[in-house]
Structure 1
Amino acid sequence: MIKKMLSFKSIKNRLILILLLCSFTPLLLLRFMAFPKAQKDLEEALISNLEGVKQKQTEIVKMWFDERKHDAKVVSRNISAVLGESINERVNNFLKLNDYIEMLRAEHKYEDVYVTSREGTVLVATGKEWVGSNLISRDYCREALNGHVFISRIQYFVRNEGENKKGDAESPIMFISAPLMDTDNLIVGAVILRMDTVHLSTIMKSAKLGKTGETFLVNREGIMLTESRFADELRKKGIIQHRTTLELKIINPHTGKLTNGAQKCLSGKDGYNAEGYINYDGSKVLGAWCWVPEYDCGLLAQIDIREGYGAAHSLKKFVLSALLLLAFPLILVAFYFGRRISAPILNITDATKKITGGDLGQRVKDSGKSDEISGLAKAFNVMAESLEEKTTKLTRYTTNLENIVRERTLELQSTTNFLNSILAGSTEYSIIAEDLNGNILAFNKGASLMYGYSPEEVVGNANVRILHTEEDVRSEKVDHILEVARRTGRYEGEVVRRRKNGEVFPVHVTFTSRRDENGRPIGFVVISKDITKEKLVALEKEIVNNVNKLIASGLDIKEVYKNIYLELKRIVDFTWLGVACLIDGAEITEDSNIVDGVLSMDWLNTGQYAFHALAQSVAVKSGEPVLVTDTLGGKYTIDQELYKKGICSYLCFPLNSKGTPIGTIALGSKKKNAFTEIHFDLLNQITPQLAIAIENTRLFVSIRESEKKYRDLVENAPEMIHEISPERKFINVNKTELNKLGYSLEEMRQMMLEDIVPNDHREEIKRHFKHIIVTGSSELETVFLTKSGKEINVEINGTALYNNKTGECICARAFVRDVTERKKMEEQVRRSEKLASMGELAAAIAHEIRNPLGAICNSVGILDTHLKLTGQDKDLLEMIVGQSERLDRIIKDFLTFAHPREPYFSLHDIREVIKNTIFLLEQDNRFTDKIEIKETYESILPKVYIDTDLIHQVLWNLFVNSLDAMSDGGQIRIMARKATLFLRDAVEIVISDTGSGIPSHELDKIFEPFYTTKSEGTGLGLPMVQRIIDDHGGTVDIKSKEGKGTTFYIKLPVGNEKLAV
């Protein structure tokens, strides 16, 4: 009954359907056309608003960053104006500068303001603990000293421990730096402003995005840089502990990967997502984003999809409810009118069926109405009467009709024969007719071309089994196929067939049953198609997918090469796979070769050849693959070596990553002309992913080396670093401190802090450590005692580390600086001041003596000219002349010492200055054959800024002292080598002799003016040496042993600080 009601053969049902369609069409148009458009308009308006908020926030953020840079420039100019000249020479202005930067911090809400020298040393700071610190290792300091206005990344700041470390009480900060310029527009220092990011977070929170919307900044790692407006809710959910800034990574909690919006933003493209994606808290949101490259951050605007599309969803519910409410009455009306209209038509239908059954006397009762159906009933009655009259005539036509059918049958047979001829001539498909046992009855031209047999060879003479492999025949697979075809009348599937020449290939076969006139099966028609090409394409796709999986698997890159070799062997006949990695597209840094499945790094060394003469070079430069079909006659330098190794042809493909060539991949075969276009297509698909894998491997190695360098930096830092437990026992000690003190790490861990200081400093070091534990930090200058008993002066900066939960002290960490050299420098300054004062006194005396001495010399000269003295009188006069000249030389030395000329610095090779001085020494009368000079120089010595005349004077004084100390002959040894001076690069000159030496009790006095051990010495030679070396920013030291000889150590800095200023 239900089927009858649903049948569309009934005019009644069709009428009902038409009425329903007419009723529902406007409603359906409203639902599927008007509503989607309205919904789309709402969604577009929302996305437009989201884009607008994103754009507005981006512009505000850029303006905020630009204002900070502008502030830094203004502060830099103001500080330069306050100083007026080089900040290294205007110490008196620092008080005024302190007032200015304090005002600057108070008015502009900066956390700290620093002013550094050209070397990065903090000269003035609002935080006094920073004064004297060196910030040259910080990027913001270096960039400013290089002349750039720089904004650092947003980071955590922990006092005395550097940046980017999180602390409970510390808020995220950033640094803005600018260069300080003097009046000559030269960079003399830097100004650095430290500020928090609270205002930046306020800007992000100010966006109007409904109840669930927010905007925020992210860095290149996808970590939020500003505080979320939902931070309190996120803490309750446990997503964050303290704050979102620098703590919350924008990842999908279900996948652990960055959210869709964060990924697209970090890719550097602006855009939006109107479909929605999972946010970091698991909710689905709509988002818009953009990357701000000039400040290396991205901005995302997001809103919950339920709030964003709420109006559209409400509209959808309303439309669906209206449709459901209108549907029921419309259906009732359609059924009523359908039945009413179709009833007369159904009466005519019943009468028609009865006439069809042979009752030609049936007539339709007229309803008496004057509508179209009444007219149809009258016409039907007329037709029934006419039909009855013509039935007799129809019988007469039957015989004639049978004759016509017979003629048409003959024509159909002709057509069948024509179709058979078409099938016989088909060449794309193999068509074979078989009996039920598989014996071949027909074999078309396509079958002959596919299998290689002629029809005469197989028709009536062979079974279909000759077209199958022996394995399929033995396993009865062929019998199974025939059995299925006999039982079901059809079989379709993929099988392996064999040609006459023995070649095996895949085909798709379709068995269709042939039946006789009684419907009984008598055989099959088998249609086959060669699917070798389709299989090859599928295999290529499978290989490409497998290779991509291998590349993405995280295996060692060498293992990836081996597995790629095995995958490609499935389709390519080759022996050698070679991967060459490049630097700057012009130098091969590594060769990896897989030969017969075995990895070898030295099977082929392409690095020994000129790169431009290799096929790899051509492939890299052109960006296109290079094919060598015959290496015996190849034009590239490597072809002959490949030929000797059995490689007769090869294919070389470039590997590019982001448009930059990073290497090549080559396939080599033992056959000539072994590679086809199919292989080109295959390599085209896998080389991009392989290039990415190689580049990622490089990045991983680089990161691993950077981590090692960082660990080495701490371990081998120039400062001593140690950690001490609350019980004053050593926990960790870096290599620098171990080497300085001479202990091993195991020995240090058994010692107490007071064990490495002299007895009279023990109580002092205990008080220092207690102060660290109580206050959190402490500084101390003291003395450390090495294992050998040597004392070294040190400066300790200690900091306590506390447990965040319990507040208990975990340990104390100390940075210890060896200030022995600084102490020596201070002593040297004191000695220089003493020399200066004594020199001034000597100069005053020399001026007073020089005038009467001149008169004496002139008078003695006149007497010597006019008096002809002989004997003892002449000797006395000559003694007066000689002693007067000696006294004049002494006075000149006094004046030179008291008023030295200003050095003129220029860049020179110290070896040239030494050699020139030795040459002049060898011409001096005091130099004899008994004196031997031995020179030793390091192979690479940096040039130094010196005054060559003054350094020549230093070397001459020291060489002459050595000659005077070796009256009986000896050896002078000169050595020049690289060294360090106050943590800066320097050159050290060592001059030693084998003379009489200096008594130990006189060593402390030899640099004092007028002190000499020579009978005719002035005592100013070595003080002048020391003054000249001091003026060069260097040091001079002496070691001597009486009877063994004397050694002078002179250190000169490579870069002269006075010249730089």
Structure 2
Amino acid sequence: PIVDDTNGAVIGAITILLRRDTIFHAIAEVTIGATGHAMLFSSDGVPVICPVLAPEEHTVKPELISALGRLKAGWATVADDSHGSRNALIGFAPVRFGESLAPGSLGGKQWITVVRQDPHETYAPLAELVAKVLLYGLLVLAVLWGTGVVVARRIARPIQLLHDGVREIGSGRLDRRLELKTGDEIEGLADAFNQMATNLQRSFAQIEQRVVDVHRLEEKYRDLIEHSPEMIYQLNRSGRFVHVNKTGLEKLKYTLDEMLSMRLWDLVPRGQEPLVLQYLERLVAQGRSSIETVFLAKDGHPIDVEIHATALIDQERGGLVHSRAFVRDVTERHRLEQQLQEYTTKLEQAVSERTRQLVASQARYKALFDLVADSVFMVDPSGMIVAVNKREEQALGYAEANVVGRSLLEVVLPAYHDALRGWLADIITGQRKVPTQEIMVRHADGLETPAETDLIRVGVADQLLVMVQLRDITDRKQLERQLQTYREELEQKVRERTREIEETKQYLENLLENANDVIYTLDTEQRFTYVNSKIEAWGYRKDDLLGRPYLALLSKRHRGRRLKSTLDIGAKQVYEVEVVTRTGEPRAVMVSVSPLHGVEGAILGVLGIARDMTETKKLEQQIRNSEKLASVGKLAAGVAHEINNPLGGILNCLYNLRKGTLSPSRQEEYRASMEDGVRRVQKIVRQLLDFSQQHEPEFALTDINHVVDRVLVLTTHLFAPNRIVLETVLGHGLPHVMVDRHMIEQVLMNLILNAVQAMKDGGMLTIRTSVVEGVCLIVVRDTGSGIPPAVLPRIFDPFFTTKSEGEGTGLGLSVSLGIVERHGGKILVDSEVGKGTTFTLCLPVSRERSLMERVS
């Protein structure tokens, strides 16, 4: 920091920039041996400079960070020195600067120099000394050991051989034999060990064979138990399951671990626990017991079971050691017993019922046979008619007495005789039914009738009959002919309708392609699915845009949020965007987008109509500029008067100063007065220039009260000559509004000038600002003549004016309304003839939110 010596205040700071390459060379020049080098770390363990590894290649462990965090010089042994070396010795010391640094220097951290060396190089001298000491000691020990070995070998060799052999035999090598020829007790002891090894080898072979046999039997019985068709379980003395075979687990749908945590009475329904406990008591008392009960599977399914159990009793203590039971699923048996009982009862009832039915069977059969809706002929395999129903006599006119005994071929036209014989042959050879066929039959009066026939095999006792059903299809044939006629007429109408649709489609395509606006459709991914030829005015080809994203045509400041809201809420929107042509030229475009709905109401995409408003906006800007210049013209005389007043005072002061008769204090007062006058003139001229200049539209957060003050600077001089009293009520703490300051100043200027012109005989002008429910309100109220009701609806029409020729263009309120609506707001008017007029500007505090509310 730079400190003022007079008052000790900080008036500045010196910033020191350290070149990394300079520090790098200074660090790199520090070397220790072959592998030692210096590094630069920050106090939080982040590598800054290292001549060997890049900073990101270091591995910094918490132990190293803790050592560096002490911010003191010293040495430490760390498990990892950040270069991969283990148990390395490092040295470190904080970097000392000549001047005290601000706390935020070097990222708020302190630099620490660290020196490290490969541990192998560091500990090499010590390792060399240790090696020499060990070498000399080993040499002395070797000499002593060699002398002792030579002396003891001859004495201890037989004992050592005996010891080694016995140890090998003890480790399991029973085929090992001791070969000692000492002629003393050691040789006898070796022979005894050899004999013992032989005996053990023979015994172990027999034991191993029996173990194998036992394992085989165990596997055999385990397999029998696990795969037994019956459930088998084992209980301990507390009634808890010790084992359950695979069949039991599958039937009960429990896992083995679940079963081992349960007791026998956990499987039975509620209320049967006492019966199970009594069964267990009988089992302990008698050694075996049986019971029939119900087990509940894991899914609640009941299983009827029959349990036969045997118990292993502790003979000394008299208690139950465990019990093993065979459980047979008797659900099916009980079901069959119950069914058998039901079948017996039903069979007895059926026999009596059948006896009764057989009595009425023949009459009922005959009645049903006669009531069949089709004509039915019962024929034998040769085609001879044996019976007909009443419907046949009504439909074809053949009486049963006259037709029985005659051939069915007499009823069928000759053209179908061969087919009928083939169908009868199919029935005789075993076919159950012949599919429905169409034939022609002859009525008893000789009339030929179309009919459908079905042949069905019927067995009556031991006789084979064929039931031939004939259905008159005369009406159906007639309907089919009518249907064919209707089908041909319908096809003709479809062709005509298709041609009309094609013509309409061509007409609509011509309308779309020749429209003056760009018309397009987008899918839900905001990609073009159609665009008309008007897009070529912007330099794009239709085929190049299909499938491309819509946002590719917009400038970067438009990200498609409005379009996404249309897809989300399904509401039509009209808004302005900026399109970039193929040559990079920005174009102002007014877009109207509407959702496209599918059959079920789902949004499939959007339909957009884009109108190029570039030239229109230029014309609007020219109109605004002309109206602004007209306002400046109205202000010119008053502004000139406002400037002349301070200029006159300045000239008077200069005159008195030149006379040289003023005292020093009086001269100072004159100079101050002259300076105030110049500043007043400067402020008026600057405000007038800023108001009259053209500005590109620029929306920014703006203090509305500040905008009102700027406009009043240019219009205050109009109030006193016209006997107008100004009252300003500006709200405090109002939020800033997203507006174009110059445009809103132009609107306020127009409203104030109109108010002044409306109060020719004087009055009061009130300007009030406030925020109500997210809307900024600017109220301009005058006490002038007011606006007649007949004129009020037209005051915003372009070029409409009630003033005399030369007093106005008729564009002021029209331009003002356009500016306010462009800001997403509106202008409210309340006027009463003879009392005055109130204009209220409504501007949304949040412009985006206001536009969304207007859409919805």
TM-score, structure 2 as length reference: 0.25
Which structure: larger Rg? 2
TM-score, structure 1 as length reference: 0.21
Q: Which has the higher contact order (CA 8 A, sep 6+)?
A: 1
